[in-house]
Structure 1
Amino acid sequence: MAQVLGLGLSAGIVMADPPRALQVSAAHIPYYVETSGEGVLLDWFGNLTRDLPIDFHIEVFPPKRARLMWETRRVDVYMPMIDGRPEPGVLISEPLFHQNDHAFVRVGTEPVCSWEALAERHLKLGLTEGYAYPDGMQVVLGEDTGQTAEWVNGDDLNLRKLVAGRIDVFIGEYYSGLAMIREMRLEESVMVSPCPLARREVGIAMKDTQSNRLLMEELNRRIRERQSADSLEKRLRQFVMAELPSSAWAESGWGGTAHAVRHTP
């Protein structure tokens, strides 16, 4: 027998026996999504959904495959959705946080604070496979600039190439980039340019069904409630800036109902 939870929804989210299951495709992003139940984003998501009558079956894929799983609708939920736009059959949550894309350069070199400056200086550019780069990258890699880029399978490889002088700059997400610099002990060798090249909204995408609309309404209410006291942005700052040994970067699992499978390329 179904039991209505006291969540204040007009139609109600019901407690089913067993709970309703949703398949989640999560893109592997260092320190955000490691394995199901680990990483700042999944830890926060687990707290956000802790008492909901939903069994989230989370699978972690390399970014390209995670996106493909969502675009072919083989899963019910996809995260993180960067700069998601409304489209038929898709629900997009309110922003969980804003992703800032920065240029990482060697200590002692000039910071890069705009796409135009990056294109004009003809720097050796390192990019990461599967990373969803913002539209400004088209300015840098356009036919008129003559700029080329070297692609590798991981930000850690780009950091090593940067320190070795094989590239001059790589573009990455602010918090995960700082955390990786800390873990690799490269604070004396690599710095992040102070101004973001892009600032983008990050949310959750979900198939548009009647039951998912109710779920998304409740998730959005909880996201709004946490914007001051327990925002994901605040968690990220604490996570990166805390004085932790490298072995402590990955937070413990959130203890919710999730079944983890991590897929490699």
Structure 2
Amino acid sequence: MAKFVIDHLDAVRIRTAEDIRPAAQALAAIAAENDMLAAPAHDIADKRTPVDADGNVLAKDIFGWADRDDVWWRNPRIALESPITSALRFENEPFWVNAEGFHLRAPNAYLDAIDISNFESRARTRAAIVVPVHMAFGKIGAVSFNPIDPTRTDLSEDFEKNGDLFAVYSRTFIESYTRVMGAIQALPPGSRLSKREVECLRWAAIGKTDLEISMIMSRSRATVRFHIHNASTKLNAVNRSQTVFKAAQLGYISLN
């Protein structure tokens, strides 16, 4: 079993853009061996779906999803409408889901509170095994495994048998895809926040104004603005809120 997993991992790992298509084919084959169709998403906040080096949509070309107007990869609102997408924001372990709710190995009260009414129309599936993939900079991807037979809605046995293996393959595929395709880095190489920049952002994170921060730190308001502006530039952020958010993602400050 260990060799089986290692061989499959090497097949789904992407090192260059040219590896994307064969890696997708390997992941699709793993799903097909278990009577499933895989549905990959590299970033639930991105309307785009994974593509190969030439820009061909993998969902259509490799993973076997029909090219229809109502298919999941053509629906830009699925990130807002689907209960599966909502669950990805609150869970990092594999789970399976159907119209009766979310099924996990350990309870998660956040998922219990998600509205699953009209599940099939909103999720574009009747049941799925889902692997969340949480990555650097707060990016969330996922791969869902959907039964080829649409009448199957109880995936409990499939989940017990394959949930952990699906997780290993999916994370390897999505994380390596994101790394290769992420030509524009969220954080410029070599940038690092200074002690003063971090201190200013910590106060800004709890709602303090520039004037209040200047009084707390015994610095001028201009100095505070200077430090926050420098932090914004280093983190490639467009405003104060995004600067604070990115600093928290990178572990410079806490939002708790």
Bin for the TM-score computed over the shorter chain: under 0.3
TM-score normalised by length of structure 2? 0.24
